[in-house]
A and B are shown apart, each in its own frame.
Chain A
Amino acid sequence: MKNQPNIDELQKLASQIRRDILRMVHNVQSGHPGGSLGCTDYFTALYFHVLDLKPGFDMDGTNEDLFFLSNGHISPVWYSTLARKGYFDTKELGTFRKINSRLQGHPTTEEGLPGIRIASGSLGQGLSVAIGAAQTKKLNGDKHRVFVLMGDGEQQEGQIWEAAMYAAHNKVDNLIATIDCNDQQIDGRVSQIMGLEDLGKKWEAFGWSVITCNGNNMEDVIRQLEYAKSLSGKGKPVMMLMQTEMGSGVDFMEGTHKWHGVAPDDEELEKALAQLEETLGDY
């Protein structure tokens, strides 16, 4: 068992990661701050408490937990988390989306950024990849788990449901998937664009163990991820439906899809940063 989580420390980290996200997208006036801010608590909990990680990085990730990001557009939160975890220098965050950068708009292996094992951005593919990696772990006798994050709008992609069927049928029970349920997509509310109805019942009907979580409450994120781990290894893949608020942590960015793919201007950045404590030093 790991040590008890230090919630205060994790929240300070999350505050710094949110500052990084805002400064990264402001710097290039492009990128996706909304979903990144909404998932910051999840990434912080995952990388700084939940995942069992080896020092350094290698592509195979043998004998450590793996994480895949399927909704690659929320790359800012992943890049900041990876840098704060020590995968690369935080100074590199300033190169996000710029020419000759390893921090591409959407995550890629092409530039060799430590921490990334697959390209993502075109939606619906990450769950299949995570299933493959989980099956390889089983073949290799590696007891570690594979985690994957998807968006709720992304559930409109057909490949997700091919993967849902496959993972349950093949008892891929070393897999813990999470859906970021913020009910937002580019054209509006998910429920209005192409409603998902009862997502929990859908995944249950496909044969998964389904749990829920308040994605913007650090204690609950950790509690539910630990619960998800306890459910794994029992013949079913695990799905965590995580309720989040797009733009979480910045009051004027919450409750709207406006900030899905729009960067704050100078004034908005100042206003946003004023709400987030600089805990570890800006990059």
Chain B
Amino acid sequence: MSTKFTYSEKKDTRSGFGAGLVEAARKNDKVVGLCADLTGSLKMGDFKKEFPDRFFQVGIAEANMMGIAAGMTIGGKIPFTGTFANFSTGRVYDQIRQSIAYSDKNVKICASHAGLTLGEDGATHQILEDIGMMKMLPHMTVINPCDYNQTKAATMAIAEYEGPVYLRFGRPKVPVFTPADQKFEIGKALHLIEGSDVSIFATGHLVWHAIEAEAILQEKGINAEVINIHTIKPLDVEAILKSVQKTGCAVSAEEHQLNGGLGDSIAQVLSLKLPSPLEMVGVNDSFGESGTPEELMEKYGLNTQSIVDAALKVVERK
């Protein structure tokens, strides 16, 4: 298999967040960081060390953290909250809904350990519903970058954007293939590979798997287009329609429930504007469990082979 993108190292996306936060804070003294007892896991240690007066430890009290972050925006601060994705969303949904989204506060909700790749801790911590919850909130922007470099760039980009943002990233080390100098444009899908037979729309950790799937499909004579949808809301509707107009069918791939995720958003766009066959790769109405990230991604059908299978199936449906 010869992929069109290569990588020289694997790094965790959360470290991209940690590095991006330090850079954003150096550029803008309004940036402050809040953490709910997970400074090491969120890679916020460097920020804390360099900006001790701008780091706020809130303890194991995520609801309070969201309220404090909302309040800190009054007077001009740009708060970045850090905890696991589970505790960044479901646990504090009403606080986010009322004090941040409805109040349109400039809070950046930064969420690590999203999805199955959290691994051995099991389903209590493997949130697979967060994209759905957050994309439903008016005013909220939802971003799910794919690798270290893109997460770092996204972290810096959201500091410059005015409004509430949900930034989702993960725990495991994954291939770094995004150029380090690539600017992150919120809401702008990234065309990674041109193709004509099927459009693969992937987000987060699944983008690398989509790149691998493209190489396998090429060997089978199928010419796949790969698009990185790092911003789930606002969705780049134009890029999706343009691609599917050319290919005639689509596959979505994400580390999330099928209900409420990226695939769900794409299905809405296609059924309203360009009815076309769509296959969705994601978790099918189930909780996760303990295991290694690789074992879990295979068991729940979220790996390269799942994308290949979905593409073969959807091409047949054209």
**Chain B residues close to A by CB (< 8 Å):** 32, 53-54, 56, 58-59, 61, 63-77, 79, 94-95, 97-99, 102-105
Chain A residues near B59 (CB-CB < 8 A): 162, 165-166
CB-based contact A163/B64 at 8 Å: yes
Residues in A with CB closer than 8 Å to B67 are 125-129, 131-132, 159, 163
Chain A positions within 8 Å of B63 at CB level = 124-125, 128, 158-159, 162
Most A CB contacts (10 A, CB to CB) among B68, B76, B95, B104 go to B68
Bound complex: CA A117 to CA B102 (Å): 11
Q: Is the CB of B103 within 8 A of A108?
A: yes
B70 adjacent to A118 (CB under 8 Å): yes
| CB–CB A159/B95 < 8 A | yes
Q: Once the chains bind, are A166 and B64 in contact (CB under 8 Å)?
A: yes
Q: Chain B contacts of A62 at CB under 8 A?
A: 75-76
- Tell me which of B65, B69, B74, B98 contacts A59 (CB under 8 A): B74
Contacts of B99 on A, CB cut-off 8 Å? 118-119, 125, 128-129
Instruction: List the B side residues contacting A132 at CB < 8 Å.
Output: 67-74, 79
Residue pair B77, A110 in contact (C-beta under 8 Å): no
Please indicate the chain A residues that have their CB under 8 angstroms from the CB of B76 in the complex: 60, 62, 136, 140
Per the CB 8 Å criterion, the residue count for chain A at the interface is: 39
Name the CB-closest residue of A to B58. A166
Closest to A66 in B: B74
Give Cα A137–Cα B68 distance, bound, in whole angstroms: 13
Q: How far is the CA of A213 from the CA of B165 in the complex (A)?
A: 42
8 CB < 8 A contacts A-B: A126-B67, A129-B67, A129-B71, A131-B64, A131-B68, A133-B71, A135-B71, A166-B59
Name A158's closest neighbour in chain B (CB-CB): B63
Report yes or no: A135 in contact with B72, Cβ–Cβ below 8 A. Answer: yes
Given the complex, which residues of B lie within 8 Å of A150, measured CB to CB? none
Question: Are A136 and B98 in contact, with the CB atoms below 8 A?
Answer: no
- Residue of A61, A129, A139 near B68 (CB, 8 A) is A129
